Structure 1
């Protein structure tokens, strides 16, 4: 008899993610959660390659999380579906698609560094998907750790309101526990050993005043969530702990504030209260508003948010929003209008699978048998078609040319690339007709390096690669309107299509938008999709430099057709030609990706680092002290950042480090524009 994933009521289910900047201790926190919940009997460590959640060979080799990994644990009679996500910016699509389907998140902060660039990016994604959060200030045992400063950074850099639940006991190497501000008690971990239970004791005398001050701020913040609790508090009577906890939960779910906890995952301190907060403060599926209903007995609606291809076929991870998904069901992929059969269902624990027979609304599971699904597709009851909001993938900023090493590799390359593209929507591929090369585009050098290794290890394809290149884009800076007639006559049926297109610039990040304002049948309705297809073809190829076009709106205003000679192909050709002509008349420019760069350096090297960034066309946005180091926040064109790590190490005797992530596209300098257009 197979297990079923709906053996607990939904109010006892938590779907959460662990998110953080790289090296904040996210996977270590996940490993401790597995141990304390009894899922693992020994703890894996990232540094020794034995972390349960980092099971991919490349994760073991590199010591970082590359793929989001799912597992299910139980705490205080609650079921927690947990997804551990990567911290490196190159794999941010994993965070994006995980947050799309999760109800809550634990954001892990490095107690020394505080809020780091990738933390900000992930925080904005959580804002976008309205995901309630708990903040866990980790690594408080490290030299330079500062809990209060990390809390201030959450307030100042993330624009969030911290609800501070803990006061650390001890600092840096002497960190040994926390004060539970709400319950006025101390939680002490007498040793680093995970099998030693937490001790609940009286609050140390030297921390009572600090605790009471923090508690007064906390209570004023949370009682606003309930009129009765607020009235009681204003009358000078303190609401019960149960009432205050209910206020804390309500405000967290509403996004009014973010509970902040303290700990050191590596030293096994703070995990039990973190799990308690997940259960007490983060939402169940019942707490999350849904505009489609969430009844388990209603027609099915589920979202595919991740794909894995292995030797057994495609594994599709889904979040069920409505209805119940069962083994043997025939479902409609509302995105592709294809019907598919669910042959098997699994509850996933990292690289292990437990077969189940059904998953209800609010649950997360993996399907085998749905062959044509892609990330962001909706699976639904065939009789009740519905399309859920898709998952938007970021635009790639770096290209690499690849070609098969041998003729045998040529045959397998297309298959391997298609598998990679299905798994990772932030990867793009195009064929360069001039060079005859396949161009693979991604978010960074590390991502492309990992994917090429996947091609070799998983698909047996060896490739030759060119140097990484910047993924430039084209756009327009003014509006224009063009009318174009495509007419061809050569013996048989002719070709006739006339279109009038307007092209206008959009704000950065808006993409390409198409609209038809044709009235009266000047362009028959059945040919309008062909006009859009022609525009999209031209967009992909570019016009002035061969790079894809972004941030333009194209409007079909008018046109004409011929009863016999008009066809979809004729309108596609006419639209592509008209678009290219309009682009050239609309003051086109080439855009280059500009990166947000944060450099952490010893203070005696600040001048050298800033001078080097300026030489790279960088703009310094801010500089601040962080412990005994300086942190420089800059914007630098990606073109100037290749090989930066070597130069930075040389400038600082290997003592500085940096992080980089895409910030925005901006017009390239005039000299670079000319080079790119002439190339």
Structure 2
């Protein structure tokens, strides 16, 4: 079994050679699997930071670098995605941390549209959880190869072979472990490297705030130190060889198998090998297909996809930042690009690289990099920017909303701020904003995947836009796309209401529940009620 090292770039054209050095990936998981902690640990092992912190740290330990919003730090959850650029081993790692909570799945989906690989993070005690399964389906739909990291091996959990069997049986992904733990979950002694051989014994550091101490032992030394635990690990590794659970690059890139690593992010056990695996195995950027399905070569003039909008990261300047995945060519700060949606020029005077809440000016970037364009008021999620030959990348679909609230300004005198805030949050994709002739623009309907999104809206409207709002729930749970001919009929039916989604002017019909939807479809089979995309997969309702 061999693992290919990253390609030498010395003789390649600049854009292609630089792209070959990039690894752009996201971390996906169920809430509380340790995703933000793993992000910190990766940055620590790449020497991008000197001390890692946990979300709910003790003493003087800080919050994680990637959780920069006040609400994230207060609640101990990731609400918005964060971009971390790390230089490591002659590679540039663009790590996109994503929200783990199911209510913020849409933000994760947008991030997955901008990466070339994903780390699927599993809790050693819980295995595949609902949110993990949902996000894996999105990654599979996007054709994103997945590396699996079984986390929290320093705590009581399940048998390693049982976890591998669950991965294969539930999601049809063949697991191919690259390392193997010595000691059961909760009694983590160290890791055997199945690729290069050898045993690394782990030693804790105080609080896991610095890199774990590693000690390389020979097989004879390991047998003396670990005893029967070592023998059991060797027997399990022998079984893996017998069943053919060895890494295969072709099946990994095709999304049929997943390299598996074991470790513990909080104590930094096994994180170093995960980092090396990302460099060696994660694919470099490849040509991205435009809306017509034609790939744009890496060496073509600059093109980029806006996958995220974020306002007010800098409280002093009330800025609006567009996160752009570079898809081809070379980016130079100050270049004038074309905004594909409007055909208008877009100047890039203020461009930054982002490391959590920290930012610094970036002058050049290549395919795979993530750049942040400041004061990008003309841009929205899914927009394309390009230089030279026109290109328009496919838009990023929205999730099918399941929760609906009517928003009203508490202070009529601040209606202008209310409108500006609602439009801002809509363009960022924090929620979907719908309007209807019945309620008017003074009472827009906010549509969300999960109810926590409404908490974010209330917090930001009050603290950023100084326009507190009240939210009134609507008794709807299903949204469907309709057309102008069907809309008047649907609007007159009991248990249904037609609204316009402002961002794309599509007509949506909201229905009380799935049972009522089926009744309408049975009684009015000629009316248009099309399913919305749910993270790249059709809503099954």
- The alignment's TM-score, normalised by the length of structure 2, stands at 0.81
Using a 3 Å threshold, how does the CA distance of structure 1 residues 201 and 450 change in structure 2: closer, same or farther?
Answer: same
CA spacing shift, 1:46–1:583, aligned 2, 3 Å: closer
Contact 2:322 2:379 in 1 (8 A): yes
- Segments of 5+ residues of structure 2 without an aligned counterpart are 1-13, 224-229, 501-506, 508-519
In structure 2, the partner of 1:16 is: 25
User: Which position in structure 2 is the counterpart of 1:455?
Assistant: 461
Number of residue pairs matched by the alignment: 480
Match of 1:93 among 106, 111, 124: 106
- Contact 1:473–1:590 (CA<8 Å) still a contact in 2? no
- Inter-partner Cα distance in structure 1 for 2:89 and 2:490: 53
Is 2:311 the partner of 1:309?
A: yes
CA contact (8 A) 1:164 1:218 kept: no
For residue 408 of structure 1, report the CA deviation from its aligned partner.
2.3
Contact 2:401 2:479 in 1 (8 A): no
Q: 1:536 to 1:416 in 2, by over 3 A?
A: farther
Deviation at 1:208, TM superposition (A): 2.4
In the alignment, the residues of structure 2 paired with residue 538 and residue 363 of structure 1 have an alpha-carbon distance, to the nearest angstrom, of 47
> 1:158 and 1:147 mapped to 2: Cα distance?
17
Cα separation, partners in 2 of 1:443 and 1:333, compared to 1, 3 Å: same
Match of 1:497 in 2: none
**Cα pair distance change 1:216/1:181, threshold 3 Å:** farther
Q: Indicate yes or no: 2:68 matched with 1:68.
A: no
For the 8 Å contact 1:473–1:549, the answer to whether it is kept is no
The residue aligned with 2:274 is 274
Residue of structure 2 aligned with 1:401, choices 406, 410, 415? 406
Matched, 1:167 2:173: no
1:293 aligns with 2:296: yes
Q: 1:428 is matched with which residue?
A: 433
Deviations 1:507-534 (A, max 9, x none): xxxx45x7xxxxxxxxxxxxxxxxxxx4
1:342-421 equivalent positions in 2, closer than 5 A: 342-381=348-387, 383-421=388-426
**Are the aligned partners of 2:341 and 2:384 in contact in 1 as well (CA < 8 Å)?**
yes
In structure 2, the residue matched to 1:80 is: 93
Residue by residue over 1:273-318, the C-alpha shift from the partner in whole angstroms, topping out at 9 and shown as x without a partner, is 110111111111159889433334x222211101112234321111
1:305 match: secondary structure: strand
Contact 2:287/2:298 (<8 A) preserved: no
Query: 2:406, 2:473 within 8 Å by CA — same for their partners in 1?
Result: yes
Aligned residues of 1:294 and 1:361 also touching (Cα < 8 A): no
CA RMSD of aligned residues (A): 3.2
Describe the superposition over 1:159-193 as per-residue Cα deviations: whole angstroms up to 9, x where unpaired.
11111222211123311211112223212112244
Which among 204, 211, 216 is matched to residue 200 of structure 1?
A: 216
Indicate the SS of the match to 2:37.
helix
Does 2:346 correspond to 1:336? no
CA drift of 1:41 comes to 1.2
Equivalents in 1 of 2:287, 2:168: separation in Å? 26
Q: Provide the residue aligned with 1:547 in structure 2.
A: 497
Distance, in Å, in 2 between the alignment partners of 1:6 and 1:372 is: 27
Task: Work out the CA distance in 1 between the residues paired with 2:255 and 2:397.
Answer: 23
**Structure 1 position 321 matched with structure 2 position 271:** no
In structure 2, the CA distance between the partners of 1:547 and 1:167, relative to structure 1 (3 Å rule), is same
| C-alpha distance 56-8 of structure 1, shift in aligned 2 (>3 A) | farther
Question: Structure 2: how far apart are the matches of 1:583 and 1:190?
Answer: 62
Give 3-state SS (helix, strand or coil) of 1:456's partner: helix
Contact in 2 for aligned 1:403/1:438 (Cα 8 Å): yes
1:143-182 matches, within 5 Å, as 143-182=156-195
Residue in 2 aligned with 1:209? 235
Deviation at 1:143, TM superposition (A): 2.0
TM-score, normalization: structure 1? 0.65
Question: Following TM superposition, by how much is the alpha carbon of 1:144 offset from its aligned partner in structure 2, in angstroms?
Answer: 3.0
Q: Deviations over 1:422-472 (max 9, x none)?
A: 111652332462597332111121111122111111111111222464334
Counterpart Cα distance in 2 of 1:539 and 1:93 = 31
1:30 aligns with 2:43: no
Q: Which has the higher contact order (CA 8 A, sep 6+)?
A: 2
Distance across 2 between alignment mates of 1:195 and 1:265: 10
Instruction: Name the SS for the 1:428 alignment partner.
Output: strand
Label 1:52 to 1:108 Cα distance change in 2 as closer, same or farther (>3 A): same
Alpha carbons of 1:588 and 1:295: their partners in 2 closer, same or farther (altered >3 Å)? closer
Distance 1:344 1:538 in 2: 47
Question: 2:184, 2:256 → 1: CA distance?
Answer: 29
- Give distance in 2, aligned partners of 1:181 and 1:545: 59
Q: Do the aligned partners of 1:345 and 1:368 also contact (CA within 8 Å) in 2?
A: yes
* C-alpha separation in 2, matches of 1:60 and 1:450: 13
For residue 452 of structure 2, what is the aligned residue in structure 1?
446
Higher helix share: 1
Matched residue SS, 1:198: strand
For the 8 Å contact 1:12–1:79, the answer to whether it is kept is yes
Counterpart-to-counterpart distance in 1, 2:251 and 2:521:
50
Gaps of 5+ in 1: 223-247, 475-510, 515-533, 551-571, 573-581, 597-661, 667-679
Distance across 2 between alignment mates of 1:590 and 1:285: 40
The answer as to whether partners of 2:434 and 2:499 remain within 8 angstroms in 1 is no
Partner of 1:547, secondary structure, is strand
Q: CA deviation at 1:355?
A: 0.6
- What's the counterpart of residue 238 of structure 1? none
Aligned residues of 2:289 and 2:393 also touching (Cα < 8 A): no
- Classify 1:584/1:106 alpha carbon distance in 2 versus 1 (closer, same or farther; 3 Å): closer
Q: Deviations over 1:366-391 (max 9, x none)?
A: 1125321110011112x522111111
Check conservation: 1:134, 1:258, Cα contact below 8 A: yes
1:113 matched residue in structure 2: 126
Question: 3-state DSSP class of the match of 1:120?
Answer: helix
Instruction: Report if aligned partners of 2:25, 2:117 keep a CA contact under 8 Å in 1.
Output: yes
Q: Match of 1:229?
A: none
Matches of 2:389 and 2:492, distance apart in 1: 40
Conserved 8 A contact 1:396-1:428: no
> Partner of 1:61: helix, strand, or coil?
helix
Q: Look up the SS of the partner of 2:296 in the other structure.
A: coil
* Distance across 2 between alignment mates of 1:337 and 1:542: 40
Q: Decide whether aligned partners of structure 1 residues 542 and 459 sit closer, same or farther in structure 2, where only a CA change above 3 A counts.
A: farther
Provide the C-alpha distance between the structure 2 equivalents of 1:539 and 1:268, rounded to a whole number of angstroms.
60
